[in-house]
Structure 1
């Protein structure tokens, strides 16, 4: 493992197996003394996304799918194609979010107020997903006349 390799380079490798992996040299004999100014490399790679936030977002999306299935049971054809969480998060207030949700769920015959209130609670503190978008290609050369 990478963490074990880093540990061996820093002289923390364990026992004879670590020495055998380095060509028969033990870390203490095979590596020069570290200078006090050298920083240790972390044993773990950094992660770009916060795993807890991603899991919370996934749980919210799964909850929405389940609840929409309950609300539209028997009328799946009327179910909205998509309920975009990021569009809801872009709105300023819960009242605006509730109005947008009522518009999306207008085809539902069931009472949606409970679902809307629960969803608004789940959206609190949920970060907006930042999409990685490629910038539009720059036009090279002279611009074409309109």
Structure 2
């Protein structure tokens, strides 16, 4: 019975449960084109990719990251080697209040000689309504299983 189902999927099964034509010579079911005529249609089917995140949200996140980079370049003008390695948006979004976020940013920007208050306030406005990005990451080798 299972062999019969596999045979039909490959186009070799006939109309009867006994298996029909075993030669695979193109018979198939009456009213259906032979398997060779059906296979090109399967190949022409358009491929589709799925996107996990809303395109508008991704664009907003990219714009925010770009704004952060340009703001840091301006704050650390002439001292680019002192720019913090990363301002993690998701870590900021995990904090409950804007005060906690501002304190975290103060710690990140402590080496800045310019006053970062305007930058921090503008970044807090940009973070409003920005969703956290759920990354699918492989666990690092040092993480316990």
Q: Please give the alpha-carbon distance, in whole angstroms, between the structure 2 residues aligned to 1:50 and 1:122.
A: 18
Write the mapping of 1:55-94 to structure 2, written as runs, cut at 5 A: 55-94=59-98
Counterpart of 1:104? Answer: 108
Aligned equivalents of 1:79, 1:116: Cα separation in 2: 15
Q: What's the counterpart of residue 47 of structure 1?
A: 51
The alpha-carbon deviation at position 135 of structure 1 amounts to: 6.4
How many Å separate the matches in 2 of 1:94 and 1:62? 21
Partner of residue 22, structure 1 = none
Question: Which consecutive residues of structure 1, in runs of 5 or more, have no partner in the other structure?
Answer: 1-43, 140-146
If you compute each CA radius of gyration, which structure gives the higher value, 1 or 2? 2
1:67-105 deviations in whole A, cap 9, x for unaligned?
100000001111101111011001010000000000000
Q: Name the structure, 1 or 2, with higher relative contact order (CA <8 Å, separation 6+).
A: 1
Q: What RMSD in Å do the two structures reach over aligned CA positions?
A: 2.6
TM-score (norm 1): 0.61
Q: Supply the distance in 1 between the matched residues of 2:121 and 2:70 (Cα, whole angstroms).
A: 16
